[in-house]
Structure 1
Amino acid sequence: MERASDRARRARAVAHGWELASALTATQSERVRALGGRARVGGSEETREIDDSTRAVGETRAEGGGVKTPATTSGTGDGRPTSARAFYAWYAERVREVELKRIDRRESRAEALRGEIALRDDAETKISEIERELTRMATTQVELKTLSRRTQEESERLIAEKERLQEFAEALRGKLDYFDRLERVAEKFQAGVIISGASSDPDGASTMAPREQVLPTLERLDECLDFVSAHPQYAQGGSYGAKFRELQNRAMSTVREYYVNALRKATKHVQDAANGRNRASGATGESEYDEIVVEEGDETALLYVRFRAGASELRDLTEELEKRERHEEYAALLSDCHVLYCEQRAALVAGSVRKKMRAIASAERGKDVLALTRIGVAHLVEVCQAEYGLFKYFFPNTDPNGALAALMIPLNTHLSDILRPRYITITNLEPLAELVEALKGEIIEGIMKTENALALESGLRRITSDVQERLIFRAQTYIKDRVGNYRATADDLDFPAKLVRARQAKAEDEVDEDDISNWYPPLERTLTCLAKLYRCVDVKTFSGLAHEAVSMCADNIAGAARSVALKSSAVDGQLFLIKHLIILREQIAPFNADFAVSIKDLDFTHMRGHMRRMLSGEMSFFSLTPNNAFYQLASEGRPRVIESKIDSKKELEKQLSAACEAYIMTITKQLVDPMLSFITKVTAFRVSAASQGKSLKDAAFASEDKICAVISQVRIALAEILPKVAFTTKLYLNAQGTRDALLKPIKSNVAEAFAQIVVILDSDFPHGTAERVGVLDPSQLAAVMDEAET
């Protein structure tokens, strides 16, 4: 029983120890986890202790389970407990030792943890300080960045301001430089540098070319003037501009003086050479400053090569002036240079040209003026072409044609001097017209196609204008004497015999064209004159001459028609007038001109009332009121200007229309005059008060016998007169359309007369009276008139 109870106690003790070891182990584990690894330094020892305790307990349990342990407390010789008490004592001892070690280790770990906590707290404090410092540093960094950006922006602004101020200073310095130049240039003028540089020495040579001194000064002055003109808002800009312009004018005067001296030097050089050759050849030379005469063959060497060599330095000057031609002052200076150049060239060339023209006039004495004109113009073209090349050398950027006109116009006068004495004596229109046509068409148009001879155009046009004036004067005289004042001869008025003879002469030839030889002479002369003038004068002048010629011609033809009517018959006079007016109208139609003139007249008709009032005493000469006679005459009595336009074409149409109407009425009266008389009597009978209640058939003049006699007379006239009328009309008028225009109204009038007779007979006479008295119906009448016309 005791051993059983001992074994039970030992088992309980072992179980209790196991539980205690498990509890200790669990407690140890919780402590380890609670420390979170901070006591890992000593953790291995504690673990080893717990493992040792666990192994000891395990061994105890093993012994309790299978080994019998003695109940005594004494141990075995090897130190193992032999009883439960010994085990408990041993176990308690072990527990105390473990607890002591555990406490020591715990204290050491606690101490270590406290040190670590202190370190952690110290680290946390330092970290907080570091975080605060970092935050402060970040704030400071942002402030520094902001301040740096502001500093950079301010620096950039200051740099830009500095650059702007520098640019402004440079610009201001550049602008002030324009004003400072005034003093520098003025000093040069006061010192006489520029003027002395352009002066000429006794030999005529310039001591300093303007290109070296004057032209740069002019360039600077131009820049200053442009600047002052572009900035009028600057203070004293106007006064500076005036001073600059004054200096510019002085510099230009210097250039002009230099240019004149150089030209005179070159001219004198050529004159000396020419006079030397003349003296060497024994010729009497002229003054060295007068025109020179160069022998033929020496013109090129003396007048062009030597002059070009003597004035070669002018080329640089003119090039600089041409570059500045856009300025008005330089354009004027360059124009003066052109004039001076042309004057010097004219002094050199004029003598040779005049000599050549005189030689041409002497050699061509027997030829007409047109041939002389062609030869003279050919020589001038040669001279102009040579002058063109020389001018182009000195003025390379200027059109020579306009500038050389000042040289070629005086040379053209030498041609005019030999031509005018010839054409001024010509009274015939034809050679004058040929000369004008040749000048306008052949010569001037040929020159306009030659580029280097265009400078001759203005001079030749002057000659052409002079010839045209002579032509116009002779045309006016011709129209007045040979057209307006023409007195017709018997042969001129021999109509229609002249036409009959002409028709018989060409009877075999079926030619309907009118023979000009049968025209009235003033008509042929008028058309010939207009044809010659049309291509030779301007449209306005031609219109005035054409109006005068056509009016005079129409009036003369009308007078000749009256003479033909007295000599032959009224019909012949009318057809003569119609024939020539139609020819005149047709022949002037191609002229593209206005045959009208404006005439201004003074109208004094309104002054009659004022004169009547003054003479009647209604207006006094001594009155102080507005009714004063002098005041009224001055204010309201001025003559009125009335402008009227007279068109000779329209007047011609009116004359032709009146002549045709007169002819139609004359022929109509010859054909149906008995009918017209009968119709007039019937009309008078019907309107007469004495015919009230009477019938027309009871009238004595309206008996059937009388009416039959009237119709018979008309039919005889249609059979005899109408064929003659048709023949005469065809004799005068060749155009079928023109004849129809005259004969159709006549036929219409005849038909109208027959129709009126029929109406009278049908209204007042029994039915069938018209057939009994022999009245023709319209178809019969048309057949009779057509047969008579053929």
Structure 2
Amino acid sequence: MYEPQYKETHTYLARFKQCLCRALTLIKTHVVNLLQSATQHVLPKKDGPPQSENAFTLFYGKFRTNAPRVKSLMEQIEQRIDKSPEYSQMLTDCHQCYFQQRLTLLGPSVSSALTDLSTKHVRDHCALMRSGCAFMVHVCEDEYQLFSQFFTHHTTLLDSMLLGLCNQLYDVLRPLIIHVNHLETLAELCSIMKVEMLEEHVLHNPKELQAFETVCLQMLEDVQERLVYRTHIYIRSDILNYHPAAGDLAYPEKLEMMESIAESIKQQNQQHTRSGSIGSVSSISSNTSQEVAQITSHAEENGERKIEEPVAVPAVPVENGGLAVLPLNPNMPGYFGLAAHAFLMDYYAGKPFIGSNMPMSPADLHGMWYPTVRRTLVCLSKLFRCVDRTTFQGLSQEALSMCIQSLVEATDSIKKRKNSEVDGELFLIKHLLILREQIAPFHIDFAVRETALDFSKLKDAAYGLMHHKSMMFALNRNNAFLQFLLEGSPQVTEHFLDSKREVDTQLKKSCEDFIRYVSDTVAGPLHSFLTKAEVIVKHGQGDTGQKISLRQQPFAGPEKVHEAVTQTYKHLKQKIPSIQKSMMLYLANRDTEHILFKPIKVNIQHAFQQLHTILSENYSEEDQQIIGCPSLDQVSMSFLYRNRF
């Protein structure tokens, strides 16, 4: 304890400081010599052979031999750092010497190792990321353990040194990351850093990998930024501006071919199998969720590769014993993509499609989906695991909106190609149902708030300024320029874009259009008569005093009504079965078919019910016999006998 009241205290204190500095200098010199000697023994000779593959083992093995001698001295120093600043300064000097020697050894070696890895994996960015990060994880862990054998207390200089080494990895990888264009590659890079590195390594060893975590998060942000940028380009180029080939619009030919070939293969397998059929082609429940899971689990189907490109596929046997060669040209009407080929090959080999208890319909195969739908779902499934929730909401809203737009354009093309409203509307309904079902598991809000400037008042304000030029410099409240500034300033407006609601709205509109079209097609003549008859009946029930007979009207004679009823009933027998077949082919789901067909059935039955009411009130029994209107039971029976609902 320093007691200044004693005689010659300052003299003895100065001598003590001198002895302490001399002792600490000797200790520091000894430690520095040990560290430098260890470094010189490990460094390769200039004329010597190149280092072997286990050079890092030598770096740690030889360097560690002097650790006990250094640590015994460092422990004494570390115990006294609070007693005098000389101890703290001496410990800092030893730390700096230690890290200088470690950088002398590791700096060139780490740089050389990363260069070798980049050369080895020059065409595989994911392998380079995985091997480079694993290499730096081992370096950080080994350096942390080596430091603990020399010193007891942690220092920030260790993290600074490791951060410098990790930045060498960042300098190697970043120029490659910013030039990657494939969404699949960028998504896998995100997965490597988030799952394999941050969650599996850093989370379980945060202290030792603190420096690596900093660099890894920085690289992850760079990859995510590149992924978002490439996704915007991909949505515009490959979804919104997608130009379909003839095979993409070959509906319903591609579904019919799938159905017929699958049925033929099924029958052949039934003939050679006694234990029972391999599987049912008809789908009892929708399997699109399982299909999109299959999409996301296959690495070969990335975000930019054209997964519908044709490949060589062997011919498959058909019912008559011959061979059916599957179309391989995407411009041919029967072409249906890789997934459909794989489905048929697995089907023919007797393998389960997805699971032994999951029946499959050709319409449920993602190979049968329109390319923009398939690309949108694959893109969203990749983004969901790679970016934060807010970013995903914005990208998903844009992707779904563009996908719906592309589906509407494809629907118009199918209608023009086939001159069939039924095929076009069923195509749109099917794919909107797929979108609606596949975005549900994400469990996020697809609504995005957008802020915009409203300049609608600027035009009126400018007109007002031009008409009141004389008041532009008036020194009162009627100053035209001041009013222009106040009234013409843009307004900030906010509005919400909900892509999920947009899907529901478009789906509802498509279903209503389909129901209206089918009802008018089947019962069009009857609806025309009922519309005119209701006008005459209402006019006759008015207070005009003039009695108007419906049956005396030119369009309402018994023969004319008979013609309308006969034509409608003929349509009911001929067109309803084909419409039901198309619904089964496109939708492949009994519940969905029933829900969509029920309003059509109700509309037609209601039309005949209205007709019966009008006939009973305005026509005699003889006229009714001439008209020959089927009973409501007959109309209902015609539905029952010709559908499975």
Q: TM-score normalised to the size of structure 2?
A: 0.72
Greater percentage in helix: 1
Is 1:357 paired with 2:122? no
Code of the residue aligned with 1:577 in structure 2: it is L
Residue aligning to 2:488: 637
Q: Deviations over 1:723-770 (max 9, x none)?
A: 111111111110111111211010011111112212222333336755
Is 1:445 paired with 2:296? no
Bigger RCO of structures 1 and 2 (CA < 8 A, at least 6 apart): 2
Residues in 1 aligned to 2:94 and 2:561: alpha-carbon distance in whole angstroms: 98
1:282 to 31, 38, 47: 47
Structure 2 vs 1, CA of residues 473 and 267 (structure 1 numbering), >3 Å: closer, same or farther? Answer: farther
2:617 to 763, 779, 785: 763
Tell me the secondary structure at the aligned position of residue 597 of structure 1: strand
Residues in 2 aligned to 1:733 and 1:427: alpha-carbon distance in whole angstroms: 36
Matches within 5 A, 1:176-195: none
Contact 1:482/1:522 (8 A) holds in 2: yes
Is 1:586 paired with 2:437? yes
Contact 2:255/2:586 (8 A) holds in 1: yes
Contact 1:405/1:458 (8 A) holds in 2: no
Residues in 2 aligned to 1:319 and 1:394: alpha-carbon distance in whole angstroms: 14
Residues in 2 aligned to 1:388 and 1:550: alpha-carbon distance in whole angstroms: 48
Residues in 2 aligned to 1:277 and 1:344: alpha-carbon distance in whole angstroms: 14
Residue aligning to 1:416: 170
Contact 1:723/1:789 (8 A) holds in 2: yes
Contact 1:322/1:397 (8 A) holds in 2: no
Residue aligning to 2:327: none
Is 1:299 paired with 2:149? no
Residues in 1 aligned to 2:373 and 2:26: alpha-carbon distance in whole angstroms: 76
1:682 to 533, 536, 541: 533
Residues in 2 aligned to 1:604 and 1:551: alpha-carbon distance in whole angstroms: 25
Structure 2 vs 1, CA of residues 183 and 445 (structure 1 numbering), >3 Å: closer, same or farther? Answer: farther
Contact 2:121/2:127 (8 A) holds in 1: no
Code of the residue aligned with 2:497 in structure 1: it is I
Matches within 5 A, 1:609-758: 609-617=460-468, 620-686=471-537, 692-758=546-612
Shift of 1:655: 0.7
Matches within 5 A, 1:72-221: 206-207=24-25
Shift of 1:696: 1.6
Contact 1:579/1:733 (8 A) holds in 2: yes
Aligned residues: 534
Shift of 1:693: 2.7
Residues in 2 aligned to 1:338 and 1:535: alpha-carbon distance in whole angstroms: 46
Structure 2 vs 1, CA of residues 441 and 277 (structure 1 numbering), >3 Å: closer, same or farther? Answer: closer
Q: Deviations over 1:571-609 (max 9, x none)?
A: 111111111111121122212333232211101223344
Tell me the secondary structure at the aligned position of residue 452 of structure 2: strand
Contact 1:308/1:390 (8 A) holds in 2: no
Residues in 2 aligned to 1:315 and 1:743: alpha-carbon distance in whole angstroms: 85
Residues in 1 aligned to 2:227 and 2:101: alpha-carbon distance in whole angstroms: 34
Residue aligning to 2:317: none
Structure 2 vs 1, CA of residues 719 and 280 (structure 1 numbering), >3 Å: closer, same or farther? Answer: closer
Residues in 2 aligned to 1:722 and 1:575: alpha-carbon distance in whole angstroms: 15
Is 1:369 paired with 2:146? no
Structure 2 vs 1, CA of residues 662 and 403 (structure 1 numbering), >3 Å: closer, same or farther? Answer: farther
Residue aligning to 1:486: 242
Residue aligning to 1:471: 227
Residues in 1 aligned to 2:76 and 2:449: alpha-carbon distance in whole angstroms: 58
Contact 1:270/1:307 (8 A) holds in 2: no
Contact 2:393/2:448 (8 A) holds in 1: yes
Residues in 1 aligned to 2:135 and 2:578: alpha-carbon distance in whole angstroms: 67
Unmatched segments (≥5 aa) in structure 2: 267-279, 284-360
Code of the residue aligned with 1:457 in structure 2: it is E
Higher alpha-carbon deviation: 676-685 or 450-459: 450-459
Larger radius of gyration: 1
Tell me the secondary structure at the aligned position of residue 248 of structure 2: coil
Residues in 1 aligned to 2:604 and 2:517: alpha-carbon distance in whole angstroms: 12
Shift of 1:359: 3.2
Shift of 1:774: 2.5
Shift of 1:316: 5.2
Q: TM-score normalised to the size of structure 1?
A: 0.60
Residues in 2 aligned to 1:345 and 1:606: alpha-carbon distance in whole angstroms: 71
Structure 2 vs 1, CA of residues 351 and 628 (structure 1 numbering), >3 Å: closer, same or farther? Answer: farther
2:390 to 540, 544, 548: 540
Code of the residue aligned with 2:514 in structure 1: it is Y
Structure 2 vs 1, CA of residues 181 and 544 (structure 1 numbering), >3 Å: closer, same or farther? Answer: farther
Matches within 5 A, 1:514-533: 514-533=364-383
Contact 2:170/2:215 (8 A) holds in 1: no
Shift of 1:621: 2.0
Residue aligning to 1:551: 401
Higher alpha-carbon deviation: 766-775 or 566-575: 766-775
Residues in 1 aligned to 2:96 and 2:490: alpha-carbon distance in whole angstroms: 53
Tell me the secondary structure at the aligned position of residue 598 of structure 1: strand
The CA RMSD measured in Å over matched residues stands at 4.2
Q: Percent identity?
A: 31
Structure 2 vs 1, CA of residues 476 and 605 (structure 1 numbering), >3 Å: closer, same or farther? Answer: closer
Tell me the secondary structure at the aligned position of residue 282 of structure 1: coil
Residues in 2 aligned to 1:338 and 1:724: alpha-carbon distance in whole angstroms: 89
Structure 2 vs 1, CA of residues 279 and 767 (structure 1 numbering), >3 Å: closer, same or farther? Answer: closer
Unmatched segments (≥5 aa) in structure 1: 1-176, 210-261, 285-293, 325-332
Is 1:775 paired with 2:629? yes
Residue aligning to 1:236: none
Contact 1:558/1:577 (8 A) holds in 2: yes
